Amino acid sequence: MASTATKTFKNFIGGDWVDAASGETFETTVPATGESLGTFPKSGPDDVDRAVEAAKAAFEEWRLVPAPKRGEILFRFGQLLADQKDELALLMAREMGKVLPEAAGDVQEAIDMSFYMGGEGRRLFGHTTPSELRDKFNMSVRQPIGVVGVITPWNFPIAIPSWKIAPALVCGNTVVFKPATDTPLLGERFVELLVEAGVPAGVVNVVHGGGGAVGDRLVRHPDVPVITLTGSRETGVEVMRNAAENLKHVHLELGGKNAIIVLDDADLDLAVDGIVWSAFGTSGQRCTAASRVIVQEGAYEELQSRLVAAAEKLRLGPGWEEGVDVGPVINRRALEKIHSYTEIGTDEGAKLLTGGEAVNGEGTFYRPTIFGDVDPEMRVAQEEIFGPTTALIRVRDLDEAVRVSNGIRFGLSSSIFTRDVNKAFRAMRDLEAGITYINAGTIGAEVHLPFGGTKQTGNGHREAGQAALDVFTEWKSIYVDYSGKLQKAQIDTAG
């Protein structure tokens, strides 16, 4: 098994740790300092082919393992995550950049998901229904599909793999996992713990490398019938296009441009807390981050003043240091993109209230940034920035707030702060999003409810909860006729 002490890591294929066929490697570094954490195989199509072959072979036995036994492995995996939560959180603070409490929360999501999906080993419910004929029994059951290609991002490097891999495994599928190239060490540890929990050889395989070489081959491979991806809208469109030739099952969790609505009657202290957490937690690098704040005009000036003051009190620094509120963004390329949107917003006429600049020195830190007087059609109010930037938009009433909130191409998370129960229920009904929070921010989903969005946030599937099982299973309808004679359904025998 690979060890962090060696600082050299390998792919895991068919139960063996192996180098990339090419022998090429890449590095993973600490975004707060630039320090190297290790060297990983820069894999290619040949490595993917080998991993898929191993997963396909392992599927024939794994699908026959009783589902409760598959669930027991996930229970053991969840316990291992719990036992090593502090170690994994510290590693995440270093490799990804999250502050320690957020990193621990990322690991906790994976613990929760593993235990929840472990329980599905004794459920995986189908249905029984009456037959229209005598002496006949009808039921539907879930069947595993085969090899699942799992492509995950760097922003939730333990949680998101668990959302995909845990349900895939309990349903009886096997996995080829491509972690993000910015967080390969966390992906490696994830797989090591699965192996320690008892996952058989070939059932889970990890292939490190870029999306162009590894991800694209996985998407196009004829023996990978299911692809699950969390990434950008542009990547999602490309994945759907490239998977179409083989009519694959494709699950996409893509972008967001989430809004918090604050009405005149809101508790402004609570609203500010929710906005700061949602906009600047994880340095804004969440698909559920609140990058828009839609404020009714009676509360606008006071909220703006309080929010700017709160943002300017946030402390930036390495995620593992005590008292740090905001860590670095993931890499230099992300830093440049975030700053480009500061320039776009300024050019469009938005008022820069605070932030808007990188922090000089080592690491990739960007100051929490707030724009005021933003028009809903400005690019900073329409496009996903994926950084610590939010835009304040003034509206007259709830109807306008809902129109503005819905006036984007995404539909992931939404939020409203109000003391009026009638307005809260109107928002629950009218906001076009897969998730709506009342008097809370746009982040904080729980694993036993479906997670995902509407419109161009995805392609209609959901992660977590019972809904996740539909991504990783096929329905089979079964009819058992015990009449001892041929009965013809849908044939009119009345005459």
CATH number of the domain where residue 380 is located? 3.40.309.10
Quickly state the pLDDT bin for 488 (edges 50, 70, 90): confident
CATH number for position 211: 3.40.605.10
166 pLDDT more than 60 = yes
- The pLDDT of residue 490 is 75
What's the token pair of residue 267?
Answer: 């508790």
385 pLDDT more than 50 = yes
Residue 448 in domain = no
- The pLDDT of residue 361 is 86
pLDDT in tens, 294-331: 999 999 999 999 999 999 999 999 999 999 999 999 99
Question: Helix 67-83 vs helix 85-95: angle between axes, to the nearest 10 degrees?
Answer: 70
Find the mean pLDDT for residues 381-402. 98
Based on the fold, state whether residues 149 and 41 are members of the same structural domain: yes
101 pLDDT more than 50 = yes
Based on the fold, state whether residues 40 and 145 are members of the same structural domain: yes
62 pLDDT more than 90 = yes
Q: Which residue type sits at 280?
A: F
Residue 444 in domain = no
- The pLDDT of residue 494 is 55
The Cβ-side half-sphere exposure at 50, using a 13 Å CA radius, reads 19
Find the mean pLDDT for residues 118-122. 98
What's the token pair of residue 77?
Answer: 């995996």
Based on the fold, state whether residues 184 and 289 are members of the same structural domain: no
Based on the fold, state whether residues 250 and 196 are members of the same structural domain: yes
Residues listed for the chain: 495
2 pLDDT more than 50 = no
The Cβ of residue 446 has, within 10 Å, a number of other Cβ atoms equal to 11
Residue 290 in domain = yes
348 pLDDT more than 80 = yes
Based on the fold, state whether residues 339 and 211 are members of the same structural domain: no
Based on the fold, state whether residues 114 and 247 are members of the same structural domain: yes
Based on the fold, state whether residues 71 and 133 are members of the same structural domain: yes
Find the mean pLDDT for residues 37-59. 98
Contact (Cβ atoms closer than 8 angstroms) between residue 279 and residue 291: yes
Tell which residue, 361, 37, 346, has the closest CA to residue 187.
Answer: 37
Quickly state the pLDDT bin for 492 (edges 50, 70, 90): low
Question: Helix 159-170 vs helix 184-197: angle between axes, to the nearest 10 degrees?
Answer: 30
Find the mean pLDDT for residues 203-209. 98
Which are the contacts of 173, defined by CB distance < 8 A and separation ≥ 6? Answer: 59, 62, 63, 144, 145, 146, 147, 148, 226, 472
Structural domain of residue 304, as residue ranges?
Answer: 258-438
- The pLDDT of residue 495 is 44
Residue 419 in domain = yes
| Average pLDDT of the residues of the chain | 96
Tell which residue, 154, 186, 155, 161, has the closest CA to residue 281.
Answer: 155
4 pLDDT more than 90 = no
Based on the fold, state whether residues 355 and 227 are members of the same structural domain: no
d(C-alpha 313, C-alpha 87), whole Å = 29
Residues identified as active-site = 253, 287
Based on the fold, state whether residues 280 and 155 are members of the same structural domain: no
Residue 491 in domain = no
What's the token pair of residue 60?
Answer: 């024939």
Please spell the DSSP secondary structure of 145-174, one letter per residue. Answer: -SEEEEE--SSSTTHHHHHHHHHHHHTT-E
- Total domains in the chain come to 2
Based on the fold, state whether residues 249 and 262 are members of the same structural domain: no
Based on the fold, state whether residues 144 and 212 are members of the same structural domain: yes
Residue 352 in domain = yes
- The pLDDT of residue 6 is 55
pTM: 0.96
Contact (Cβ atoms closer than 8 angstroms) between residue 86 and residue 104: yes
- The pLDDT of residue 493 is 61
Tell which residue, 236, 239, 232, 234, has the closest CA to residue 216.
Answer: 239
Quickly state the pLDDT bin for 441 (edges 50, 70, 90): very high
d(C-alpha 252, C-alpha 455), whole Å = 12
Based on the fold, state whether residues 225 and 330 are members of the same structural domain: no
Residue 483 in domain = no
